[in-house]
Amino acid sequence: MRFIDEARIHVLSGKGGDGCASFRRERFVPFGGPDGADGGRGGDVVLEATSRKNTLQHLRGKSIWKARGGQPGRTRNCTGACADPVIVPVPVGTRIFCDESGEQLMDLTSDGQKWVAAKGGARGLGNLRFKSSVNRAPTRFTHGKPGEDRRLRLELMLMADVGLLGFPNAGKSTLISCISAARPKVADYPFTTLAPSLGVVDMGADGAFTVADIPGLIRGAAQGAGLGHQFLRHVRRTKVLLHLLSLGPEESEGPIERYHAIRAELAEFDPELPLKTEIILFSKLDVISPDERESTIADLRQQLPKDSRILAVSAIAGDGLAELKHILWAALSEVVEDVENDV
């Protein structure tokens, strides 16, 4: 399935049913009085977050969502039926914006969370509502109110615990396929991954956490170069950043230069992103001879911030993957504790 993370929809709620103006007409009841009832309420258009959806692709084929109007009131005090709401399923992590003003209206971050995008019109009142001691035979009634008409822009931001960062061909797709059940496309050319991949890492009895591969980060990504501007927003949702630096000989510049380039793009896109918990991971360890590994990594460590948490793995050989998963799990636990303490 293609990954679609933006969509525009037009939502129209239903009109309220009109009230009824009528009077009882029964034999031997000369003064029957008013019996016109209220109309029914118009249907709402409701956006509901669900874990069963992982893209907004289904909204590309159906951009207009319209609810029915309420039924009009009837005689004999029979109230018109209310219209059922129209439910629009969206993935968890969907943000809703007004398409005209750009204002963010809602952020659906949990499974089952609902938001009324267009409220149905209020019901009209029947003439029975206007009966009083001084007006025993009212002819007045009201019409139902029109529904809402809104144009919305939906934007999906992946809800992942760990975000994988790195230049193209840093080994992100290979890593996520080795530590989770995700099966992204893996190839030896840049921009192999054209859409974010989401995988679940099983930690046994302790639980599990999700990892997202954020593709297309290059120099100038914050200004829209490559695919980075389209997918940088997904980094905002993550709790921990796993920054991959390839040790492969095919790279045109060193790991340290690439590390600072990605950090600069994150800071330019959102100043809060560099403040997230980060783990630096040297990937493709198998391309270096065993005799040179320790000296190469030690030299690179000296050029990175002293408080950095640094690991080295070979996803293909499986070296260091078990340790990596436990370190990520521990880092996520620390982030959760910090959030709880702040609360």
Pair 21, 127: CB distance under 8 Å: yes
Taking residues 81-98, report their average pLDDT. Answer: 95
CATH superfamily of 162-342: P-loop containing nucleotide triphosphate hydrolases (3.40.50.300)
pLDDT at 220: 54
Residue 303 DSSP SS3: coil
Beta-sheet pairing, 94-98 with 149-156: antiparallel
pLDDT at 34: 92
Residue 90 pLDDT > 90: yes
Q: What are the structure tokens assigned to 270, written together?
A: 């959102």
* Domain boundaries for CATH 3.40.50.300 within the chain: 162-342
Percent of the chain at pLDDT > 70 equals 87
Give the ranges where the chain is alpha helix by DSSP (H): 57-60, 172-179, 228-231, 255-269, 290-302, 321-342
Residue 223 pLDDT > 70: no
> Greater confidence, 61 or 231?
61
Write down the residue that tokens 């980075």 correspond to: 228
6-156: which CATH architecture?
Distorted Sandwich (2.70)
Q: Pseudo-torsion of CA 7, 12, 13, 15, nearest 10°?
A: 180
Q: What are the structure tokens assigned to 53, written together?
A: 């959806």
Question: According to the per-residue pLDDT averaged within each range, which of 108-122, 157-171, 267-281 is highest?
Answer: 108-122
pLDDT at 343: 47
Residue 130 DSSP SS3: helix
- Which tens digits make up the pLDDT trace of 179-188? 887 676 555 5
Name the pTM for this structure.
Answer: 0.72
pLDDT at 26: 79
> Greater confidence, 298 or 47?
47
* Domain boundaries for CATH 2.70.210.12 within the chain: 6-156
On average, the pLDDT of the chain sits at 85
Taking residues 229-237, report their average pLDDT. Answer: 72
| DSSP secondary structure, 172-212, as one string | HHHHHHHHSS------SSTT---S-EEEEEE-GGG-EEEEE
Q: What are the structure tokens assigned to 194, written together?
A: 């054209």
Q: Which residues touch 302 (CB under 8 Å, ≥6 apart)?
A: none
